[in-house]
Amino acid sequence: MMMNKGNDHPDLQVAFQQLRDAMKDTATPTKVEQNIMRAFSLQLSMQQSGQQKSLSQPSKAWLGLGQWLAPGAAIAASVVMTAWLMLGGAAMGVKNATIQTLENVADAPFIALQSLEQIALEPNPRLIETTVPKMLFASMGMPVSPEMASETVRAEMLVSAAGQPLALRLSRP
């Protein structure tokens, strides 16, 4: 059907109609659609992987936190271990230690003696009850009276399967 858009140039209208007819089946080459659909799929998969990445970021953030804490924990551990050795780690009295399972641990805070990552990765940690000199806690910044520094206190120590100290806390009286 011929469109009649203007009467000023009737020949022109005929010519335009012929051009419209000639081009009515003209369409974009199929490769363009393929390119677009491929790009869309790629973008979609990237978005999905991006979402997965963002979902996994909390654990990464936690690992990042561990990395920040690790040096501090390592320093604290070295201080503790040094003090422990200087004061005679044998006072720990492993012979008298009572081995407990980790599930029985009370909610009192532990002082990390190794990096958090190393503690978390330990496959088979154990909790042992022992006695340690109060001086040991003083070296970790806890208030200890000088007169009582030589006394011992009961403590719970998290150790690795190989017996390496991982963390320490005071036992409940």
Partner 1 sequence: MNSMPLTDANVDLDLLRRMRAGEAQALASLYQRHQAPLYRFALLRSGSPDTAADVVQDVFMALIEGKLNFDPLRGGLSSFLYGVARNFMLKRAEGERRYLPLQVHASDEDDDECDITDCAITPLEKILMNERAESVRAALAKIAPHYRDVLILYEIQDLSYVEIANICHIDIGTVRSRLSRARVKCAALLTLMNDADGDERLANTSTER
Contacts with partner 1 by CB under 8 A lie at 3, 5-6, 8-9, 11-12, 14-16, 18-23, 26-29, 31-33, 35-37, 39-41, 43-44, 47
Using alpha carbons, list the distances in angstroms from residue 95 to 82, 90, 98, 129, 131: 21, 9, 9, 10, 11
Q: Smallest gap, in angstroms, from Cβ of residue 52 to partner 1?
A: 14
- CB neighbours (10 Å) of residue 76? 19
Using alpha carbons, list the distances in angstroms from residue 100 to 59, 118, 119, 150: 29, 20, 17, 27
Q: Which is nearer to partner 1, 5 or 53 (CB)?
A: 5
Q: Residue 136: which of 93, 74, 82, 83 has the closest Cα?
A: 83
- CB neighbours (10 Å) of residue 135? 19
Q: Smallest gap, in angstroms, from Cβ of residue 10 to partner 1?
A: 10
Q: Smallest gap, in angstroms, from Cβ of residue 75 to partner 1?
A: 49
Q: Which is nearer to partner 1, 33 or 151 (CB)?
A: 33
Indicate if the alpha-carbon torsion angle 127, 154, 87, 109 is positive or negative: positive
**What's the full length of the chain, in residues?**
173
Q: Looking at the DSSP assignment, which residues form a beta bridge with residue 167? A: 112, 158
Q: Which is nearer to partner 1, 43 or 150 (CB)?
A: 43
Q: Smallest gap, in angstroms, from Cβ of residue 13 to partner 1?
A: 8
Q: Which is nearer to partner 1, 36 or 63 (CB)?
A: 36
As a whole number of angstroms, the distance between CA 110 and CA 98 comes to: 18
Q: Smallest gap, in angstroms, from Cβ of residue 16 to partner 1?
A: 4
Q: Which is nearer to partner 1, 26 or 145 (CB)?
A: 26
